[in-house]
Amino acid sequence: PLQLDSPLPRFYFEDIARFQCEAILRHMSRLDATLESRRASARQALDSYHRMTAERTPARPDPVSPYRWGQPTFWQLLVPVNDLKASRDQLFRAGIETGGTNLRDLAAASGVALPNARRLTEHHLFVPLHGHLQERDYRKIFNILGAAKQI
């Protein structure tokens, strides 16, 4: 079984504070518009990704095929790449900062191999989704990755 080296920090178990509740209430009226904006950004990014990868052999996996059941809310698009570090380096040279997951592979730290956790940390790039980014911005990202043979 998986064992933690130390107990979880106390702040993991803190209650929500009053000021957090007040902030949530202030922004609730914009929630529907915010969610739709995020979905629109995801559609733009996905359209760009699909155009870039449509003619590739072998075909690349669809980043959101698990979400066909509904309309998830995105704030980042998880894109499968051949090598996370190489992909980030190529994009950074073009002035585009992206990243991978910030989640640690806790199983690996305990000597347990979980292939999906390893794939997530080594072969998936998180592309930000923001309202100010246009389809041409996403095309640029995916064109750079395609030219570098990362997608």
Three-class DSSP category at 35: helix
Distance CA 71, CA 55 (A): 26
pLDDT at 69: 45
Strand spans (E) along the chain = 76-80, 124-128
Please give the radius of gyration of the chain, using alpha carbons only, rounded to the nearest integer.
18
Q: Are 50 and 56 in contact (CB under 8 A)?
A: no
- Name the amino acid, one letter, at 69: W
Low-confidence ranges of the chain (pLDDT < 70): 1-6, 8-9, 11-12, 55-74
Q: Which residues pair with 125 in a beta bridge?
A: 79
- Name the amino acid, one letter, at 147: A
Task: Write the CB contacts of 114 (distance below 8 Å, at least 6 apart in sequence).
Answer: 105, 107, 108
